[in-house]
Amino acid sequence: MSWSGGAQHLPLAVKQRVKALKNLQAQYAQVEAQFYRDFHDLEKKYAAFYQPLFDKRSEIVNAIHEPTEGECQWQVGVQEGAWGEMEREPVGKGQTNGIPHFWLTAFKNVKILGRMIRQHDELVLEHLEDVKIKFSGFEEPMSFTIEFIFKSNEYFFNEVLTKTYQMRSDPDDSDPFFSKGPEIISSTGCEIYWKVGKNVTVKTSKLQKCEGRSSVVSTTRKMPSYSFFTFFYPPDSPEGRVLDVATDYKLGYFFREVLVPKSVLFFTNEASEYKYESSDDEAREAGGEEKKVEVIRNEEPEKGPEKDLDPEETVSLQQ
């Protein structure tokens, strides 16, 4: 029994009064749920106010807009920080477009993301053009979506990868006092349409072994490869997810509240206040061993060059 605090032996009359208080607390939870809905609407309202600033950021990052001298002058109060201490290099204006690898660099400066992003992921993430947070509509169930917007690239056909986090927005029988407030209750990624041989979430190796005297059997092993992009996969896919559910939810919230709104501070690595707090569990999850699930198929002996993976084959891994 979890009861303690010296209140076990209360007279029945007092217990009845406490029951009345608990009923009041359940009524409070109903009003609180409305508060959280209003709060969500306030966030949406401000998302619209922030959007022009995010649009301008994207234009500068992607070389659509070249900032004027005035836009590059430090504003009153803006500290140069480590950035300002660096030696100035000769002007090379025009030689480099925009801010190359802006999002990749920002991501890598977040500890847990830095661990998730492997070398093969970096080549893909260099094509990441923008990241946006979209809130659910006013009449829809509460949720938010992280949109990862990519330039046309050699890895997949998608222009946008999405991850949506569904939230519980009301107290229910399992939590009549709404003790956790609106919390993420599930997440949904998206299907990635990898181009042939470009799926960085699997790796193939070919083994040859002799069977009998004259035949050589070539065996292709497809192994899940530790990758940031499993972030978009369902948790029960063979590639699995590199994150446990709790960390996935925490990371989703971190994208929404911190990383997307304040990405430049991560690019410059000045965001020490926002260090994503990773527990040992997360460290283990994110830095741990690659999953040992193997897909082994016997194939006909062949002599030609190695074939690229067929995308259908790869997709079948996810079923």
Task: Show contacts with its own copies in window 32-61 (CB under 8 A).
Answer: 32, 34-35, 38-39, 42-43, 46, 49-50, 53, 56-57, 60-61
Its sign, for the CA torsion 116, 118, 123, 126, is positive
**Binding residues for its own copies restricted to 198-257, rule: CB under 8 A:** none
- The residues with which 220 forms a beta bridge, in sequence order, are 206, 297
CB of 43 to its own copies, least distance (A): 8
177 binds its own copies (CB under 8 A): yes
Name the residue nearer to its own copies (CB basis): 10 or 296.
Answer: 10
301 binds its own copies (CB under 8 A): no
4 binds its own copies (CB under 8 A): yes
Contact residue for its own copies among 190, 268, 287, 295 (CB under 8 A): 268
Contact 165, 144 (CB under 8 A): yes
CB of 209 to its own copies, least distance (A): 43
Scanning 139-147, 205-213, 219-227, 272-280 for contacts with its own copies by CB under 8 A, the matching segment is 272-280
Scanning 22-30, 241-249, 284-292, 299-307 for contacts with its own copies by CB under 8 A, the matching segment is 22-30
Q: Helix %, strand %, coil % for the chain, to 5?
A: 40, 20, 45
Which stretches does DSSP call E strand in 189-315? Answer: 202-211, 215-224, 295-299
138 binds its own copies (CB under 8 A): no
Contact 65, 59 (CB under 8 A): yes
Q: What does DSSP say about strands 143-150 and 160-168: parallel, antiparallel, or unpaired?
A: antiparallel
Which stretches does DSSP call E strand in 136-271? Answer: 143-150, 160-168, 183-188, 202-211, 215-224
